[in-house]
Structure 1
Amino acid sequence: MVVGRFAPSPSGRLHLGNLFCCLLAWLSARQQGGRVVLRVEDLDTARCPRRYALQAMEDLRWLGLDWDEGPGADGGHGPYFQSERTERYQAALQKLEEMGLVYPCFCTRAELHAASAPHRQDGQVLYPGTCRRLTAEQAAEKAKVRAPALRLRVGDEEIAFTDRHMGVYRENLARDCGDFLLRRSDGMFAYQLAVVVDDAAMGVTEVVRGSDLLDSTPRQLLLYRLLDLPAPRFCHFPLLLSHDGRRLSKRDADAGLEVLMGRLGPEEILGRLAYLGGFHPSAAAASAEELLAEFDWAKVPQADIPIPEGLFG
């Protein structure tokens, strides 16, 4: 059976980009007769207080996007808040350490963003391997001054996969990514490790998420392989942009659900989102159930989608 999921990171009220993701994930899983899991990605508890997660759940119910397993619907794979799952991430980290693939990194963010550091085409910093060859003695000396982050040592190999929507994507981890974080210097586990552990533990077979995370997939596929875990199928969709071409964020107040709820009902919001997704013929109101008959990944654009000014009032 297909098992999809919502995995919001509730650092504020849900906005149109979050809702678009939840709608597509829900439609894709439900259309295949599958189940939906809700997981709250609140590793950064300072940025993601519990009240935002509770509000997000209330908002999803208001929209008619239900879930079969998650907070309030225990399916035996809980807890469903990442902040309560750190023992599982530690166990995975220990397995990787026992394989000799983990090393301490003492580089600061400022050092990594220095002009001399290599950058990807999208501007992200490529880790240059500064701490990769530290001896145990050197690492111990540095640890007296600064707590280290932990990185995974990657090999010079290409990892390729076929995304259900975007097609073939490939990346050489050594050249295009570099050794990546598993745990930050403050002890917080990295997204890449946590999401792999959780999706496997919760039986997720399909991950629907924005194209901004497409390039993280090879890292996750490597972790699935190293941890001997089954990898899901991935389906990345284009991002919604503001009418002037900017990526949506929680700073875009007009795109936040709190504002939208004052203008539109749930079916009006879903109908407009489906219209932007290319599978609803107009911006007319429609329930999630009604959209099941229309949903088709082949109709969803691959390029990012600007929101026409005034579409949501």
Structure 2
Amino acid sequence: MKPRLRFAPSPTGYLHIGGARSALYNWLWARKTGGTFVLRIEDTDRKRSTEESVQAIFDALTWLGLDWDEGPGKGGDHGPYFQTERLELYRKHADALVESGHAYRCYATKEQLAEAREAFQKEHGRQGFKYPGWWRDKGPSDWPDDQPFVYRIKVPKEGATGWDDLVKGRIEIGHSEMQDEVLLRSDGVPLYNFGCVVDDLEMGITLVARGDDHMINTPVQILLYQAMGAEPPQFAHMPMILDERGKKMSKRDDAGSVEVYEERGFVPDGVVNYLARLGWSHGDQELFTREELIEAFDWASVGKEGARYDEKKFLSVQAHHLREIPGPALAKAALPFAKKNGLEIDPGDPRLVPAVETVRQRAETLVEVADMIDYYFRETPTPDEKATKKFLKAKFAEPVRKYRALLAAQDAFDRESLEAVTKAWMEKNDIGFKDYAQAVRVSLSGRSATPGLFEVMEVLGKERCLARLDAGVAAMEARAD
């Protein structure tokens, strides 16, 4: 049977990069093995789950290119794929567990549990209260009428539960460390472990791959599978993503959500590459295409310890993938970021792709691409005050005027021709062009740092170059220095 894997986020906020990496590893394995990647929404936290968060998860996965085979919007034979639409199923399984003796109804009230917890803390001076099993051995004849109850698992009092984790190796947890935890609340809503097992069982999931913060849940989940007469799936627990200080990265961190990277102008392939390497290795290789990741990924090479986030490395990987994007696609991707800067660029403008090509090797993000091509498309460039003050000086007005006259006489306005005629002109007139080249650059772009000057001039075109040099000369002549 081919593998069936799933990603089951809770829609209580934006998609965290830890969740995105979990989705990615599941997706990679499904694609490598010809398996099925299922998306399930665990929306039982009714206070915190929102439609906006559900859509944010869909949008983030779609942006990353992690397409799911079954789930919301795709359908499948194992739906519905929202837990709140599966409540009758959980009740059915809970009743079956009670009937088979693996679970029981618990009528303990919140007040009774609070008193017992407080007494434990007073006696022991610490947290760690475990439900004492008051209703563990009681049956239908003991059940009070018209009183709310929860379902609890009946954990064996002796022995241990273990599994061979695809990442962590052999793990065993003694039953004495566990407790009879709640499976189903009185309102019929399952707690995480029970809902997760019922859904994974009903959906035929063969491998549960998730963050290692879920390892604490695995023993009781295995007991539930066994109680239901089912073979547990394989488990793979991935290392946590740590911030640059070595602490667990949370959704509140600036670098925590996928949406942050989309807004910063990262490209999906760059994010996928970096997240894949954040906890997994393939020799010394750092850069991967999506196809290479699918071919190379395996669970044996996933690390056991926390993976530390590195902003500089992320940017480096991201920049590599940005520079691999063909010019027309890169230009199209940069347009929304130009619009955020208040610049509407016609997608059909013949200058667009050439402009993008001039900054390809300089920019690390789409935000930078949009910023670096800005002056090509404005009526007049937005001047950088420091650059203007430093380079548009009165003493440069005359040489720039002469250079402007040289350009006006040229018919060919490509970079090679411009460079050749400029070089010949400098040699003939014994002029050191570099002495006032920055005045030309700032006049054309408003900036002191741009791609090669002749590249800039070629993209701007003759008419715009002459007009901007005229404005630059006027600004220089207006200076008193």
**Class of the TM-score when normalised by the shorter of the 2 chains:** 0.7 to 0.9
- Work out the CA distance in 2 between the residues paired with 1:158 and 1:133: 19
**1-structure distance, mates of 2:223, 2:88:** 21
Query: In the alignment, residue 16 of structure 1 is paired with which amino acid?
Result: I
Report the counterpart of residue 304 of structure 2 in structure 1.
302
The worse-fitting range, judged by mean Cα deviation, of 6-15 and 251-260 is 251-260
The CA distance in 2 between the partners of 1:34 and 1:15, in whole Å, is 25
Stretch moving more, 183-192 or 211-220: 183-192
- 1:148, distance to aligned residue in structure 2 (A): 3.8
State whether residues 260 and 312 of structure 1, in contact with CA within 8 Å, keep that contact through their aligned partners in structure 2.
Answer: no
Once the 2 structures are TM-superposed, how far is the Cα of residue 301 of structure 1 from its aligned partner?
A: 0.9
AA aligned opposite 1:182 = L
Q: Hey, what's the Cα distance between the residues in 1 that align with 2:119 and 2:306?
A: 30
The Cα of 1:310 is off from its aligned counterpart by 4.3
Deviates more, 1:254-263 or 1:199-208: 254-263
Q: CA deviation digits over 1:110-141, x for unaligned, max 9?
A: 557648259xxxx9845241534686898749
Task: Name stretches of at least 5 consecutive residues in structure 1 with no aligned partner.
Answer: none
Larger RCO, structures 1/2 (Cα 8 Å, 6+ apart): 1
Q: Is structure 2 residue 56 aligned with structure 1 residue 55? A: yes
Aligned partners of 2:91 and 2:188 also within 8 Å: no
Is the 2:167–2:303 contact (alpha carbons within 8 Å) kept by the matching residues of 1?
no
1:36, 1:69 within 8 Å by CA — same for their partners in 2? yes
Q: Does 1:178 align with 2:179?
A: yes
SS of 1:255 mapped into structure 2: coil
d(CA) in 1 for partners of 2:259, 2:208: 27
1:131 corresponds, among 130, 134, 158, to: 134
Provide the rounded CA distance (Å) in 2 between the counterparts of 1:247 and 1:115: 33
SS of equivalent residue, structure 1 residue 116 = helix
Larger Rg: 2
1:109-148 aligned within 5 A: 110=114, 114=118, 116=120, 125=128, 127-129=130-132, 131-132=134-135, 140=144, 147-148=148-149
Question: What's the CA shift string for 1:241-267, capped at 9, x where partnerless?
Answer: 112233222222321122111221111
Shift of 1:212: 1.0
| Secondary structure of 1:253's aligned partner | coil
* Contact persistence 1:11–1:47 (CA under 8 A): yes
1:163 paired residue among 162, 165, 190: 165
- In the TM superposition, residue 309 of structure 1 has moved relative to its aligned partner by 4.5
Q: Return the letter of the residue paired with 2:203.
A: M
Q: Greater share of strand residues, 1 or 2?
A: 1
Match of 1:213 in 2: 214
- Residue correspondence of structure 1 range 56-135 to structure 2 within 5 A: 56-100=57-101, 101-104=103-106, 105-107=108-110, 110=114, 114=118, 116=120, 125=128, 127-129=130-132, 131-132=134-135
Quote the Cα distance in structure 2 between the aligned partners of 1:158 and 1:134: 21
Structure 1 residues 170 and 124, CA, compared in 2 at 3 Å: closer, same or farther?
A: farther
Aligned counterpart in structure 2 of residue 291 of structure 1, from 283, 293, 296: 293
- Cα pair distance change 1:97/1:133, threshold 3 Å: closer
- The answer for unaligned runs of 5 or more in structure 2 is 316-481
Structure with a larger share of its residues in helix? 2
Amino acid at match of 1:97: V
Q: 2:281 aligns with which of 274, 279, 282?
A: 279
For 2:137 and 2:166, the matched residues in 1 are separated by 41
Q: TM-score, normalised by structure 1?
A: 0.87
SS in 1 for 2:62: helix
The size of the alignment, in residue pairs, is 304
TM-score by length of 2: 0.58
Cα shift at 1:279: 2.3
CA RMSD of aligned residues (A): 2.7
Letter in 2 for 1:129: P
* Residues 238 and 279, structure 2, Cα contact 8 Å, conserved in 1: no
**Alpha-carbon spacing, 1:116–1:68, altered in 2? closer, same or farther (3 Å):** same
Paired AA for residue 279 in structure 2: G
Could you report, residue by residue, the CA deviation over 1:78-120 in whole angstroms, capped at 9, with x for unpaired residues? 10011101111000011012234313133467557648259xx
Aligned pair in 2 of structure 1 residues 133, 34: CA closer, same or farther (>3 Å)?
closer
- Contact 2:153–2:183 under 8 Å retained in 1: yes
Instruction: Find the counterpart in structure 1 of residue 258 from structure 2.
Output: 257
Q: 1:111 to 1:291 in 2, by over 3 A?
A: farther
**Cα-to-partner distance string for 1:123-178 (whole Å, 9 max, x where unaligned):** 9845241534686898749x86xx443311211231111111111111122x1111
Distance 1:221 1:35 in 2: 22
Structure 1: 4+ residue segments shifted above 6 A: 134-139
Deviations 1:174-211 (CA, angstroms, capped at 9, x unpaired): x1111111123554211111111111111111110111
